[in-house]
Structures are given as C-alpha cells and as structure tokens.
C-alpha cells in the first residue's frame, strides 16, 4: 500500500486507526464536503492519501486538530 501525506506521518497508518472522510466528518461534526474543501485549501486536520481516490484520517491526527482548534 502506497501512503503519502500532507504532513509528517506519525506512525498512524494502522488501518484500525484510519477513518474515511465521512467517518472523520462525523467525528468533527462537519460535512465530508467541508473536509474536502479544507484539503484543497491546505488547512484542516492532517490527512493521508492511500491511493488515487482514497483519503484517510488518523484518529490521533483528528484529536490533535481538535486540541489545536480549542
């Protein structure tokens, strides 16, 4: 599996700890569309590109994003 990230990956590529954009949006109480817009604008939580059309978010990166935003 090829993994690229928009930032340094912190050992969070374990599939058990990865969420789809829809799952991440639910946790953040926003829409998947909002997450897509944030990715295109270069902000929001860190994300991983797992394939040409597959994006994932690690639980630890979502928690860190919420902590920074609070």
Report yes or no: 56 and 6 within 8 Å, Cβ to Cβ: no
Distance CA 53, CA 62 (A): 20
Residues with Cβ within 8 Å of residue 33, at least 6 apart in sequence = none
φ, ψ dihedrals at 49, nearest 5° = -100, 110
pLDDT (mean) for 52-61: 96
- CA nearest neighbour of 47 among 61, 34, 33, 66: 61
| Cα–Cα dist 23/49, whole Å | 15
Q: What is the pTM of this model?
A: 0.79
Confidence band of 43 (pLDDT split at 50, 70, 90): very high
Provide the pLDDT for residue 34.
98
């Amino acid at each position: 599996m090829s993994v690229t990230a928009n930032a340094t990956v912190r050992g969070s590529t374990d599939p058990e700890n990865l969420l789809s954009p829809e799952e991440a949006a639910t946790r953040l109480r926003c829409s998947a569309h909002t997450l897509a817009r944030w990715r295109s604008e270069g902000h929001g939580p860190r994300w991983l590109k797992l394939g040409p059309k597959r994006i994932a978010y690690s639980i630890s990166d979502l928690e860190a994003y919420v902590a920074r935003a609070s």
